Amino acid sequence: MTEKKLSDLNSTVTEKGIETDFRGKMTYGEYLHLDSLLSSQKRLSGHHDEMLFIIIHHVSELWMKLILHEMKAATVSIQEGELSAAFKMLARVSKIQKQIIEAWDVLSTLTPAEYMEFRDKLGQASGFQSYQYRMIEFALGYKTRHALAIYKKDPEVHQILDEALHAPSIYDVSIQALAKAGFDINPDILNRDVTETYEADKSVEAAWLEVYRDVDKYWDLYQLAEKLVDIEDWLQQWRFRHMKTVERIIGHKIGTGGSSGVSYLKKVLDHRFFPELWDLRTEI
């Protein structure tokens, strides 16, 4: 160690106010439960690169947990008419999505030959089974009731997903906000079965179109619309990077969970969560 590094270390240790006696006090590691967090990466193959694979997925699940935390709060805020509070939360979601997208760049350093060294150890486990990702889709209005069958093994998770299936999406409450603002929204949409995937409606498109044509009058609703577009845009970029990373590593092999792999991931790129917010761009 150089003299400068020793000097820096000594100045840090001797700086006044730095706590060194943690007897009876909570430490950083204890607050974050690092003992359990950092002991959760257990390789099944012993192969060096399996650690990368596990950590990328752990990090993504943690970010998804925060997305759901923010989305749930934003949905409640919109229901209560507190749109400004929702804007902050939705802006944070977009920033988180950027972090998840960039994680694919790290995973893409895994080569096909390296992945095949431990792929068989995954069995039928697949990211397709991520219940948090499914909950994000539900929160955005893409409801797939049949997907719940995947989670019957875990009654607690199945219950959480069933509750998410029956809850209004953030787009449902945004459309309700349009109605509260005086827009003439189709009653069938306002009272729709929220367990079904949302489909575009002319009355909703007309309302959003008026918002975009009179931004000053409907500034908060305009801001809400743009925040929703941001989230869908980032999600589709995530889906694209997912698809290309999978194609780069396994080509067109069948996924470990039985899906068609790249072919399935390409198909979901065509799905839109907030169709009217995209269609109106052609009409303006």
Structure tokens at 204: 């909703």
Per-residue pLDDT tens over the stretch 213-231:
999 999 999 999 999 999 9
Binding site annotation covers 281?
A: no
Question: Does 242 carry a binding-site annotation?
Answer: yes
Q: How confident is the model at residue 10 (pLDDT cuts 50, 70, 90)?
A: low
User: 87 labelled as ligand-binding?
Assistant: no
Domain ranges of the chain: 48-118+126-282
The reply, when asked if residue 256 is annotated as ligand binding, is yes
Q: Taking the model in full, what pTM does it have? A: 0.90
pLDDT digits (tens, 9 = 90+) for 174-200: 999 999 999 999 999 999 999 999 999
Asked whether residue 58 is marked as a ligand-binding residue, the answer is: no
Domain 48-118+126-282 architecture: Up-down Bundle (1.20)
Ligand-binding annotation for 115, yes or no, is yes
